[in-house]
Amino acid sequence: MKPAPFDYRAPGSLDEALGLLGDESVVLAGGQSLVPLLNLRLARPELVVDINGLAELDYIRADDGPLRIGAMTRQVTLERSELVRERCPLLSAAVRLVGHPQIRARGTVGGSVAHADPAAELPVVLTALGARFHLRSPAGERALDASELFLGPLATAREPDELLVEIEVPEQPEGTGHGFAEHARTHGDFATAGAAAVVGPGGAGIALLGAGPVPARAEAAERALAGGAAPAEAAALAAESIEDDHRRALCTELARRAIGEALA
């Protein structure tokens, strides 16, 4: 199918973009989720605000400690970044599982976060990493953590006049280990379940994919792990609230693998 008619604007600056956002608009970043919705007419916006011209949101830097990723950074750029591989190998590993090369060539880090698909890899990994999400509106800027940003499937706390501008990944202390494991029926498909684990001297971050409506930290498992629990024990805690037997078994095993990898 083809999209229904819409007005289209491609602002050349962030300020111009912010002036266009509102109740009737949608933001077009990489388009790998939005354009299918337009094609299927599941989305029929009045106005499409294309932010692909905002070069100022395409960066990866770590000058002041945390890894700062501009929202318009393409997934392929994240995948190829030496800085990311060095600072946050978990992101480098997980982004390779997002869609296919043709998707990652266009898809953006910010788009994946703002779309908030509960089966997407990047939101889960960023949740485990304790990322902060910076939103900008004409009124100013605010930063949310994952528990504040993700409200439900495809739903975030972003207001219609706000734009996600940056993802901030806190610096990982020396000696931090990472792991990510997922199960997908075919490579590149949306995963049915997955787990991300970050285990370091300062504590642990564990988040599951496919376990609920939003990526959420498995806090009981994190505490258990910090207290010296074995990976299998922490993994069982992480998945214990999942009702469906198959999904719980899958998440438990994937969490065990991710935690094991992080500790290896």
Q: What's the CA angle centered on 150, arms 194 and 10, to 5 degrees?
A: 105
Identify which of 196, 219, 200 has the alpha carbon closest to the alpha carbon of residue 209: 196
Q: Is 99 in the site for other proteins (CB under 8 A)?
A: yes
Q: Is 187 in the site for other proteins (CB under 8 A)?
A: yes
CB 251 within 8 A of CB 242: yes
CB 263 within 8 A of CB 231: yes
Binding residue (CB under 8 A) for other proteins from 17, 76, 126, 128: 76
Shortest distance (Å) from residue 186 CB to other proteins: 7
* Torsion angles phi and psi, residue 15, rounded to 5: -60, -40
Q: DSSP assignment, residue 190? A: P
Q: What's the CA angle centered on 195, arms 194 and 196, to 5 degrees?
A: 135
Shortest distance (Å) from residue 21 CB to other proteins: 17
Of the listed pieces 5-13, 83-91, 146-154, 196-204, which binds other proteins according to CB under 8 A?
5-13
Binding residue (CB under 8 A) for other proteins from 43, 62, 83, 103: 103
Q: Is 78 in the site for other proteins (CB under 8 A)?
A: no
Binding residue (CB under 8 A) for other proteins from 25, 29, 32, 218: 32
State the Cα–Cα distance between residues 87 and 198, nearest whole angstrom: 13
Binding residue (CB under 8 A) for other proteins from 10, 43, 62, 232: 10
Of the listed pieces 17-25, 29-37, 85-93, 163-171, which binds other proteins according to CB under 8 A?
29-37
Q: Is 5 in the site for other proteins (CB under 8 A)?
A: yes
Cβ distance to other proteins smaller for residue 7 or 86: 7
Binding residue (CB under 8 A) for other proteins from 16, 19, 31, 154: 31
State the Cα–Cα distance between residues 140 and 159, nearest whole angstrom: 12
Determine how many CB atoms are found less than 10 A away from the CB of residue 248: 17
Beta-carbon contacts of 252 under 8 Å, excluding residues fewer than 6 positions away, are 235, 236, 238, 239
Cβ distance to other proteins smaller for residue 24 or 141: 24
Q: Is 39 in the site for other proteins (CB under 8 A)?
A: yes
Shortest distance (Å) from residue 48 CB to other proteins: 7
**Alpha helices, DSSP H only, in the chain?**
14-20, 34-39, 75-80, 82-87, 89-95, 101-104, 109-115, 121-128, 146-149, 219-226, 231-239, 245-263
Shortest distance (Å) from residue 218 CB to other proteins: 29
Q: Is 12 in the site for other proteins (CB under 8 A)?
A: no
Return the H-helix or E-strand segment holding 99: none
Residues that bind other proteins (CB under 8 A): 1-8, 10, 28, 31-32, 35-36, 38-40, 48, 50, 52, 76, 99-103, 105-106, 186-188
